[in-house]
Amino acid sequence: MSCCARWPARVAESSLGVDACPVRHDAARLCMSKLRSCVLPFFLLVTACAFARQDTNEPIDAPTVRAFVPGKTTAREVVERLGAPTDVVQLGKRTAYRYDSASQKSTVLFLLLINFANQDARSDRVWVFFDEHDVVTHFGASFGTHRPQYAMPWEDVHEASDSASRDASRPGASR
């Protein structure tokens, strides 16, 4: 005979219909304790983080671009130094070459009910314009593939001091 069978009916059941047997309550506490010890590690395991990086084309060499001399450098020399352009645009009798490179860094924090993600993508882009004789008339460039950072959404990845330190590490990126 179990403990609960020995308890009088009026003590074994409360007015709310809940079992008042101390053995069952101890078993319930033990069950909840075991459940907590199993569930808590599960919730800790379902949290995760991820990092990813994607690069498109090689970064453009800034000192090479800065060495172009308008009126002197030819289209052949530009292609020899930078390789094949990403795009060639015909502008009447003139042409323009576009060179691109991109770098992207992504960070994700997976939590049970909410996730946080951030992507920081930067690019190098160079436009070189040629006259009808394939001589450079002018060019424009921006260099940023060295700047992407792994960060959470609440972090500022565009801080001036951060950019300055990253620019200092890449020759020719800043004027």
Query: According to the model, what pLDDT value does residue 1 have?
Result: 47
Ramachandran quadrant class, 172 (left: phi over 0; alpha: psi -120 to 50; beta: rest): left
Q: Is residue 140 part of a domain?
A: yes
152 plus 137 within the same structural domain: yes
64 plus 132 within the same structural domain: yes
25 plus 39 within the same structural domain: yes
Q: Is residue 174 part of a domain?
A: no
32 plus 69 within the same structural domain: no
Q: Which domain holds residue 16?
A: 3-45
40 plus 60 within the same structural domain: no
12 plus 84 within the same structural domain: no
142 plus 80 within the same structural domain: yes
Q: Dihedral of the CA atoms 168, 122, 157, 175 (nearest 10)?
A: 30
Q: Which residues does the chain have with pLDDT short of 50?
A: 1-4, 6-7, 9-14
9 plus 62 within the same structural domain: no
Domain count, the chain: 2
Q: Dihedral of the CA atoms 66, 71, 76, 78 (nearest 10)?
A: 10
Query: According to the model, what pLDDT value does residue 120 have?
Result: 92
Query: According to the model, what pLDDT value does residue 2 have?
Result: 47
Query: According to the model, what pLDDT value does residue 44 have?
Result: 65
Helices (H), 48-159: 62-66, 75-82
Query: According to the model, what pLDDT value does residue 12 have?
Result: 45
Query: According to the model, what pLDDT value does residue 19 have?
Result: 52
Q: Is residue 95 part of a domain?
A: yes
